[in-house]
A and B are shown apart, each in its own frame.
Chain A
Amino acid sequence: MAITLTWLSLIVLIPLAALVIKPWELGLDGVWRTLTDDRVVAAFRLSFGAAAIAAAADAVLGLIVAWAIVRYSFPGRRLLDALVDLPFALPTAVAGIALTAIYAPNGPLGALFAQVGIKTAYSPLGVVLALTFIGLPFVVRAVQPVLEEVDREVEEAARTLGATDYQRIVRVVLPAILPAILGGVGLAFARAVGEYGSVIFIAGNLPMVSEIAPLLIIIKLEQFDYAGAAAVGLGMLVISFVALLALNLVQTWLTRRSRG
């Protein structure tokens, strides 16, 4: 007990207290000015916007992957299952340079997109791609166990009562797994907002265009603007917290509704 509390205080609580206290050295209007600076606003919009789009993409792809792994047997199913965790296991810097090599204008997929005039690497789209990569396991791993548990008897009953495939999925399976999908999306979003390593190489880091919020913290630190860096960090945490709280409320409401 004592070890737990001491360690938590030293490693988590005191450092985070520093983050909460430091920005106010600038005064209230100083913090406000930092957070409403055009470049900071642009970085926040990119970080949160791209994280939201990536989390939504993860919801779709993650559901498909989880569905395939849980409901069907096909050669390579176990391998696919193990590979889902690769974005967790691959160090982010490695993922970052690999994704950049793939989506750069001369990369295998980047060249393909370039032919139809879409710039992938060194643009906001590249940021979204990297964040989708990093968030995918969260959705799959959240949906998988719940999809396994969905009451097959209820599904079977729905079928014998004449429900079509479509009706069965939309009215029986989806409501049961929606809270899990949202839970996974929340985790993917939270991770994506703060992600640095996998994004920094592919983003191109153009101020106002493809500069993410965590990079702005590093830039401010390099200018010895500690309070400014802390203000950006605290701002990120507060916005994430509010977004996750909202998602959590929806999730709770959905869970209650599907049970009620």
Chain B
Amino acid sequence: MNRPGKLHLPGWAPLIVLLAVAGMIALVVLPLAMVFVQALGNGVGGLLAPFREPDTWSAIRLTLIVAGISVPLNAIFGLAAAWAVTRFDFAGKSLLMALIDLPFSISPVISGLVWVLLFGAQGFFGAALDAMGIKVIFTVTGLVLATVLITLPFVARELIPLMQEQGAEEEAAAMTLGASGWSTFFRVTLPNVKWALLYGVLLCNARAMGEFGAVSVVSGHIRGLTNTLPLHVEILYNEYDFVGAFAVATLLAGLGLLTLVAKSLLEWRFSGELAATRRH
């Protein structure tokens, strides 16, 4: 496609570019820069101080655990859902696709709230769970449930349009040649979508590790026990340990930046193997 730089509105070009760059710097770049500036407010010592606290490390560990459970679950779900939607015809398909997207349009706080309504002390199953001695809310289980709900659409959304474009011909060919369902899946389907799967997993993971609202509702903020990294940032901030809060935040900002870089790399290097909407 021809890059239209030389095309229209030569007189307006500098103004529009200037406005776009200024707007992006003020609204988007400045907050990112601010994280690092504030974290270094007390020098490198201040930046490292929170990482001498065991609470910070248990928050890091918990964040890794929660993402480590939620992301694979939703990757499997994403594959299954994309397979179901693109390889079969059935009534209510558009309803199913709307349901898959639904978690994106509800508030993260509501995504946490629904689990409290089910499993909280006065929730629908609260008394029953209590009798069995099972705790969900204020435990890692609750954190995982909330995170899984929030991040459910990411992988499916990357795979569905791609698998729709690719069609089922190669799979049909493998099947006719005598491949079993599983070996077709592992040798044809999966290799065809691997980069889109990675792309989805990347976005899913970034959200899982950075989620705040939903986990905030189900966590109970028990330091060292149910405190993920974003919640730890909040606690430090509310204790007026601003430098500490920003120091921990640099870790999350770094995760975000890394995700952006990896995502751009995938779009650039493997654009042909991602869904059309991701090709630049």
Contacts and interface: CB of A to CB of B under 8 A. Distances in A.
Interface of A: 1, 3-4, 7-8, 11-16, 18-19, 21-22, 61, 64-65, 67-74, 76, 78, 80-99, 101-102, 108-109, 132-133, 136, 145, 148, 152, 155, 159, 165, 168, 190-191, 193-197, 201, 214-215, 217-218, 221, 224, 226, 229-230, 233, 236-237, 240, 244
B172 interface: no
A65 B24 contact: yes
Contact of A72 (B13, B117, B255): B13
A94 B230 contact: yes
Interface in B1-17: 1, 3-5, 7-9, 11-13, 16-17
A133 B27 contact: yes
Interface string B102-129: 1111111110011111101111100000
Per CB-CB distance, the 4 closest pairs between chain A and chain B, nearest first, are A194-B107, A91-B210, A73-B5, A196-B213
A233 B113 contact: yes
A132 B23 CA distance: 11
Interface residues of B, number: 92
Interface string B24-38: 101111111011001
A107 to B, nearest CB: 8
Contacts of B257: 89
B96 interface: yes
Given A165-B12, A194-B109, A230-B113, A11 B152 contact: yes
Nearest to A78: B264
- Tell me the interface secondary structure of chain B in the complex: helix
Contacts of A155: 8
Given A90-B31, A194-B108, A68 B210 contact: no
A90 B116 CA distance: 27
Contacts of A73: 3, 5
Contact of A97 (B30, B115, B237): B237
Contact of B23 (A61, A88, A145): A61
B216 A86 contact: no
B163 interface: no
- Tell me the interface secondary structure of chain A in the complex: helix
Nearest to A240: B105
Interface stretch (B42-50, B77-85, B178-186): B77-85
Given A92-B212, A93-B234, A98-B31, A15 B114 contact: yes
B94 interface: no
B99 A13 contact: yes
A76 B108 contact: no
B245 interface: yes
